[in-house]
Structure 1
């Protein structure tokens, strides 16, 4: 069996709610991506990371080891996640943002394009993290968040 065979195979995993979800290994990094999630081919998902249902990750985005991207998350292009980051359901991260290792972002959090989230940061549900607009000339969200 080749490495490509393993990466293309469906991996069923039972959640704490008893529901079985199906994942596939992303071709760039081998991370587990739920089948209804969309991760750009040019993104990288570490083999120990998870991307849950309905999430969308843009081109050039790198998800580090131990990360968990919950359901319905939208991540722009060229975003970097340090290791062990948890991003709550329904959150949005703009192009070029950087999320430091061990950060925990709650549900519905918005991280503006170009923003930096510190190591070990805790961001409560539905809060906004603004970036330096000089480093991020455009936003995927149409406003400065």
Structure 2
């Protein structure tokens, strides 16, 4: 069940709890009132940004993507369609996360790094990147 009141969208989850989101002015994505999405970011209408998350200026989040609890998406980072960014993940400025990627919890994606389409990044990994458009591998965070 959902209802709309001037930019407020409410859902009843499977446990009967009411979850509230606000529509972002650029793209219409759903943002928890306990999250912060910069007005200069663009969030696709079917994207979700959960409580404690921060989406910085110039970042783009594609359709069907889920920015989980306490995630930070850096300035000018691009998150493709149907991506899940696990809780506590950090996406650096200018980084790119490809369509369909599944990023685990507490992952660090360095500035300008690339996660390829459909890639699965395990919990606690670091995705390195040292140059624009350069794709780097990942390894376990120490």
Query: Same fold by TM (over 0.5)?
Result: yes
1:8 deviates by 4.5
1:135 corresponds to which of 132, 137, 141: 132
**Residue of structure 1 in register with 2:39 after alignment:** 41
Q: What's the TM-score, normalizing by structure 2?
A: 0.86
How do residues 94-109 of structure 1 correspond to structure 2 at under 5 angstroms?
94-109=92-107
Question: Unpaired runs of 5+ in structure 2?
Answer: 134-141
1:46 deviates by 0.2
Of the structure 1 ranges 7-16 and 34-43, higher mean CA displacement relative to structure 2 is found in 7-16
Displaced runs of 4+ in structure 1, greater than 6 A? none
Query: Larger % of strand: which?
Result: 2
Question: Unpaired runs of 5+ in structure 1?
Answer: 1-5, 137-144
**Residue of structure 2 in register with 1:66 after alignment:** 64
1:116 corresponds to which of 114, 117, 125: 114
- CA RMSD, Structure 1 to Structure 2 (Å): 1.9
Q: Provide the C-alpha distance between the structure 1 equivalents of 2:84 and 2:34, rounded to a whole number of angstroms.
A: 19
Query: Larger % of helix: which?
Result: 1
Q: What's the TM-score, normalizing by structure 1?
A: 0.84
Change (3 A) 1:8 1:126: farther
Change (3 A) 1:94 1:17: farther
